[in-house]
Amino acid sequence: MVGLPNNRKLAHFMIRIDLQIDLTYEIDGPGADFVFNIHAAQTPNQRVSTENLTLSQPISPRMYTAPGTGNRYLQLHAAPGALSLGYTAQIDLMHYFADPVKIAEVAVCDMPPEVIGYIYPSRYCQSDLLIKFANNEFGRFTQGYSRVRGIQDWVKRHVSFALNSSNTNTSAIDTLIQRVGVCRDFAHLMIALCRALNIPARFATGTDYGADPTLGPSDFQAYVEVYLGYRWYIFDPSGTGIPMGFVRFGTGRDAADVSFATVFGAVKTHAVVIRAVAVENPASGMMLPYFCDEALSTDSSTMPAASEFTQSSEQPLLW
């Protein structure tokens, strides 16, 4: 683990990711409807500089950006036969860094309305069933970022990563019992444990930049964002990738909200092909993603106006 670059001129660097996603399907019957969430989100610290979508069928798709989350959805109807979808983009990540020691938890009474929903149980994150367990394990931890990192590390230590070890019905409770899963299962368990302690947490999707090739070809990645110090911070309980290289596609209560593809009809799915490459150009301030000790975010602050609070708990290292 390393900290911020010693040279302060490099402190304002950015990560540039060249992204390519190829999806292929075989459609039977009268055709099928699709809803995709594979477009990179536009956030205060994640900028999509160029992007392109190609479709093998003469389709007029519809794009929709969800208010609040910024999730971008592609809706289309495809005719019987083969359907290939290609998405390429260049994304610039300008992370917000903060000192973890200075990041506090936010009391429920001080949470913005749009955050409150992320402390409630959801389909795959049954936090109401984990309150006693979470308090026994983490109730004595010092509150703040360090407690959430402790939850992340606990999940990483107690759950083994194994491909094809779970299915679309596997929940946080299942993962806690079975102690095995893939990135989505790690994320669901961490989210449920945070919510059981009244810490808002949400499910995030992207690509697995930096994942060990022995785990298989590049794939979509599920990770966690936790609301601390009036900002959403990135956590990767599976430990399979480099969080600084994650490009966010969607955020939601759990996987049910942000599936990369939802299919309505008789469809055969072929293997996903993903390529995410970081561009290094120090002269232009572009660096390769690396593991760091600082707290990372690609979101803006939701700090209340000065009249709404007495003291800020957030003290950034830099913008």
pLDDT tens, residue by residue, 199-252: 999 999 999 999 888 888 889 999 999 999 999 999 999 999 999 999 999 999
Whether 120 shows a pLDDT value over 90: the answer reads: yes
* 147, pLDDT greater than 70: yes
pLDDT reading at 310 higher than 70: no
CA distances from 238 to 19, 188, 205, 224, 247 (A): 22, 11, 13, 10, 16
Residue 175 near residue 207 (C-beta atoms within 8 A): no
Domains along the chain with CATH numbers: 96-257+288-318 (3.10.620.30)
Residue among 133, 38, 131 at smallest CA distance from 87: 38
Per-residue confidence (pLDDT) for residue 146, from 0 to 100: 98
Share of the chain above pLDDT 70, in %: 91
The two most distant CA atoms of the chain are separated, in Å, by 62
